[in-house]
Amino acid sequence: MASAPSQTNFQRLLRALTPTVRPRPIPRAYVEGWNKTWNPLGQPITQYYSLGDLWYSFEKWSACGTGTRIENPGGEDVMHYFVPKLSAIQIFTTKSLDKLRILKIKDIKDIDGLEAELWSDESDGEKSSGSPSNDSSNAWEVTADDWGNDYEDPPLYRRNFRNLYFGAEDTTSPYFRAPLFEKIFEATVQYPGLMTLKSTDLTPASWIAISWYPIYQVAAHEVKDDMASPFLTFHTLSSFFIDAADVTADAISLPPFGIASYRLEGDIWFGSEQADYVKFYDLHRAADSWLKQVHFNHYDFKFFNKKADHDCNADCPCRRYGNYHKDF
């Protein structure tokens, strides 16, 4: 029996930067009858995850980093670790913003105890309130006016972007940013829905961008320049945009649909694998396209692109496979 082909460094990296969360079965009474407005792919959805479970999946990574194995050509293998930090997030919901504002959580870890209450809202026939969030006391919050929705877009676009429950962007130096888990946990004090909302409560416009900065290597006698490469990944949060192939009985995976990076000189991440660079290029274009669709002027994405263009030299993989910098 032929053995499975070995993964490349870049393929292992994408896997390492993919958060996974335990699935929860949707009560049978609600499996059928989802509002088609929020299900553009029309795929059957029988499982969901809680946002609270997603944030707790980052707890260990935020403390110790997530590791990926790097195969050095002609050298020893290295375990390379990255720490996740919040770059930007927008959560649009089908739920009533008024109910979410008054939500109180006695024990923020007791998410399971809220299941009956969360699903009881569905039986009440709750619909989107349609009223934008007016709470501006949180310095992180990004309102619709901040990202320039002109409301001249098609009805589906307006429905997806109507209820912004929580929006944030961190523009401070990455060296001064708290790890993602700590940052989100701070926000739950004012936005408890960050712990209780279900992935089926989120419209397809909901997303998160995570910056990953290298923190250390294990078994590395020599640290190459491209081991200092940071990455910026984009992930959907809504069940209605999660690919069915990423949902199993044991886990729901949220692989990056977009990416950016710099300091990619050398052969660590791409080597002679043109397919990996093409994958990176496609993911980079997808991130650029997404930000244009949601009218989001993303500080980190612009910074990463500027650095990549500035650092480009004869060793940059774009010189071997095509200069993607000119496209962005």
Domain ranges of the chain: 9-327
CB-based contact 166:103 (threshold 8 Å): no
CB burial string 195-210: b at 16+ within 10 A, e below: bbbbbbbbbbbbbbbb
CB-based contact 195:114 (threshold 8 Å): no
CB burial string 124-158: b at 16+ within 10 A, e below: eeeebbeeebeeeebebbbebeebebeeeeeeeee
> Would you state the pLDDT for residue 301?
96
Q: What is the DSSP string of 273-304?
A: -HHHHHHHHHHHHHHHHHHHHTT---HHHHHH
> Would you state the pLDDT for residue 217?
59
**SS3 string of 98-122?**
HHHHHCCCCCCCCCHHHHHHHHHHH
Q: Say if strands 164-169 and 78-92 run parallel, antiparallel, or are unpaired.
A: antiparallel
Residues with Cβ within 8 Å of 121's Cβ and at least 6 positions away in sequence, in order, are 95, 99
Q: Please list the pLDDT of the chain residue by residue as tens digits (328 residues).
A: 444 557 889 999 999 999 999 999 887 766 655 545 556 556 678 899 999 999 999 999 999 999 999 887 766 788 889 999 999 999 998 877 666 665 554 444 444 545 545 555 554 444 433 333 333 333 344 433 343 344 344 444 555 666 899 999 999 998 899 999 999 999 999 999 999 999 989 989 999 999 999 986 555 555 555 678 899 999 999 998 898 889 999 999 999 999 999 888 767 888 666 788 889 999 999 999 999 999 999 999 999 999 887 666 545 555 455 555 555 4
Burial class of 30 by CB neighbour count within 10 A (0 to 12, 13 to 18, 19+) = middle
Q: Does the pTM exceed 0.75?
A: yes
Q: What is the helix (H) or strand (E) element at residue 183, kind and residue range? A: helix 180-187
